[in-house]
A and B are shown apart, each in its own frame.
Chain A
Amino acid sequence: MRILAYFKVTPDYEALRESEWSAAAGRVPSSGGGEGTSRGPSADGGAGPGRGEHAGPADGVDTRYVRRILDCFDESALEIALRLSDALVGRGRAAGLGALSIGAPGAEPHLKTLLALGFERAARVHTEAALDFAPAATAALIAAYAGRIDRSDLLVLGARSSPGGGGTVPFRVAEQLGWPCLTQVTEVEPLADGRLRVTLMGDDGLQRLTARTPCVLAVGNAVVSHLRVPTLTDRLAVRDRQPDVLEPADLGVDLADVLRREGPSLAALEGIDRHREGVLIAGDTPRAKAQALFDARLKSLLEEL
């Protein structure tokens, strides 16, 4: 089974202060690409006036000073793919495990880590174009790589990713490849006959079902949420290996053209007001504060409830 795990490297948005978010609100976004820089030439060339996401004056959200992390559901997906591969190998079956990311070189250290963890293949499709709010373009690149270059049987990726979070990419890839897709996957076990036993939390609740490859598995709230860490020995063993770098054209994708047809486009950012009073309940000890809270509000409220 040729397994491909796709992941995205994103700015750690949780590290941004409240003031950065309020500054971003009201801006016309240009979608701050993977590296927080401006739009790439292909995106520019493709966008007409008014196409907010490619044509804005400045990045909507300034992420230049925050670190890059693995997007959380993609991190789950990578570890689930690794465990699946381990389980297959443990049963004496071949599991060719590959990893793919798209964007500027920010993904490179993560790809090296994956090589150290036993991924056979690690590739990056290089583009400076802003794909944060371009799910169709993202899906076109993933599908082209999986179908034409990697010839994968199974694609594992996060069910949604920052900052768009729409959760449409797995279905778009599935459409392009003509594969079925399961989303909100939480566990994957190999069966003896090469099929997969998949657990997922769907609209109808928790389900288990059997999938044949090829298919797309989009990982949701899995308990497996952290990617394992390679040992120094693992790292040294792959020290001379470099991830493959491909251009969209190598995949047969005319990215400028795909971006021209991309939609919906992000036209504006708005802030969200979550402000409440925040009245401080004072006291010298936890006991005193708890008592003050109880006397002030909880006593009467709990009687009502």
Chain B
Amino acid sequence: MRFTVVMDGTSAGAADGTPAGAGEGTADRTADGPSGGIHRRAAALGAFLRDGLKSDSAGASRGAIDAQLAGDTLVFYSDERAKDRLVALAPTRDVRLVRIEARRPERMAALLSARAEGGQTDLFLFAGGPAGTELATRLACRSGGQALSEVLSAETAPDRLSCRRSIYSGHLTGRFELSARPWCVAVDPSWADAGGSETVAHTIVSAIDETGGGGPDPFEDRERMEAPSSEDLAGSSFVVVAGSGAGDRQGVRRIAAAAREMGATFGVTRPVAMNAWAPMDRLIGVSGARTAPALCIVAGASGAPAFFWGIERASLIVAVNTDEHAPIVGEADLVLLDDAVAVLEELAAIVAAEREKR
């Protein structure tokens, strides 16, 4: 089985054709996207190859697929600084470079599909997130292969690739079989949390410059906007979440104030964000931030899988809920059956009093 890892180091560029990242500090800014940034997304591909891709013939996770020899890495990049960091993250020895002025999914898909034509690559592996999904899908459409996004793990067999991904909003995992090649797989965004692979000595086997080719950007006047970030949630060791059980905007504010009092980072479930009871950057779950705190207090949330994904890595989960049958009760370590706002305010008062004492 031969594979190609596709690392997308481009970013959506400016309208006037200025390479993205050319300006002061932009390269760093692009590294801070909500899906973990270019470099974390790239490192996730190495982690997936190491731990997520198995060969069923050998039953072994690695060794069976000698990542360094059986594949290569194709790096799309726009600026030099981004390129060097990406090459360093490539999980294979052989690296191919393609320079392009900015992210142009249709052009990139065309270039990949030309590569797929030789039939030498069985599997194209893409990063998690919308851009990786777009490339995987467009490549499959053009090359007659099959695409699957958000893949948790994959197992190779001579005639197919068997992949697992979350379905039914996280209630179940589905096992999918890809038959027609090339298999175009975008990994699950959670692989960005798995750390990188070990460093490999690289050989640049080709370097082509595609800047200026293939017509203008179909989209113009691009403008990056400052958006409140949810980075603080991803890195927090103590998270308090308010769900619909907070009752109304006021209830959510009171839980947020209690969280602040206790020194916790505040997050919410989707309905709370959708009702504009809290800003969208506070959203936790598959559509928002993924946290890994030592302590997570979930106040008035039912614990739906799409939400729970965002807190499942918490060491200790405390649920405050009025319904003993809410799914969160079985998903928490400790449970308080009571009103969310009342308990959180009491808890904040206790924590504050304790602080006074010391």
Q: Give the B-binding residues of A (Cβ under 8 A).
A: 13-14, 16, 18, 21, 24-25, 29, 52, 60-61, 133, 159, 162-168, 171-172, 174-176, 180-184, 195, 198-199, 201-212, 215, 220-221, 223, 225-226, 261, 263-272, 274-281, 283, 286-287, 289-291, 293-294, 296-299, 301-302, 304-305
How far apart sit A14 and B301, CA to CA, in the bound complex (Å)?
13
- Say which residue of A25, A221, A261, A277 sits within 8 Å of B287 (CB atoms): A221
The answer to whether residues A162 and B168 also contact, given A168-B147, A297-B316 and a CB cut-off of 8 A, is yes
Interface flag for B134 (CB, 8 Å): yes
Query: A301 contacts B294, CB within 8 Å?
Result: yes
Query: B343 contacts A280, CB within 8 Å?
Result: no
How far apart sit A211 and B216, CA to CA, in the bound complex (Å)?
12
- Selecting from B54-62, B84-92, B200-208, B334-342, the interface stretch reads B334-342
How far apart sit A173 and B171, CA to CA, in the bound complex (Å)?
27
Interface flag for B179 (CB, 8 Å): yes
How far apart sit A166 and B224, CA to CA, in the bound complex (Å)?
26
Determine chain B's interface SS by DSSP, over half rule: mixed
Chain B interface bracket (under 10, 10 to 19, 20 to 34, 35 or more): 35 or more
Interface flag for B130 (CB, 8 Å): yes
Q: Could you jot down 8 A-B contacts, CB within 8 Å?
A: A18-B330, A171-B134, A175-B138, A195-B220, A270-B174, A274-B308, A297-B334, A298-B347
Query: B305 contacts A223, CB within 8 Å?
Result: no
Task: Report the tally of A-B residue pairs with Cβ distances under 8 A.
Answer: 265
Give A57 Cβ to nearest chain B Cβ, in Å.
16
Interface flag for B175 (CB, 8 Å): yes
Query: B294 contacts A305, CB within 8 Å?
Result: yes
Q: Which residues of B contact A159 (CB under 8 A)?
A: 130
- Say which residue of B147, B179, B308, B351 sits within 8 Å of A302 (CB atoms): B351
Q: Which residues of B contact A287 (CB under 8 A)?
A: 346
Q: Give the A-binding residues of B (Cβ under 8 A).
A: 11-12, 15, 29-30, 32-35, 38, 41, 105-106, 129-131, 133-134, 136-138, 141-142, 146-150, 162-180, 218-227, 237-238, 262-263, 273-274, 276, 280, 283, 287-288, 294-295, 304-305, 308, 312, 316-319, 327, 329-339, 342-343, 345-347, 350-351, 354
Query: A163 contacts B167, CB within 8 Å?
Result: yes
Give A197 Cβ to nearest chain B Cβ, in Å.
8
How far apart sit A201 and B226, CA to CA, in the bound complex (Å)?
11
Query: A278 contacts B330, CB within 8 Å?
Result: yes
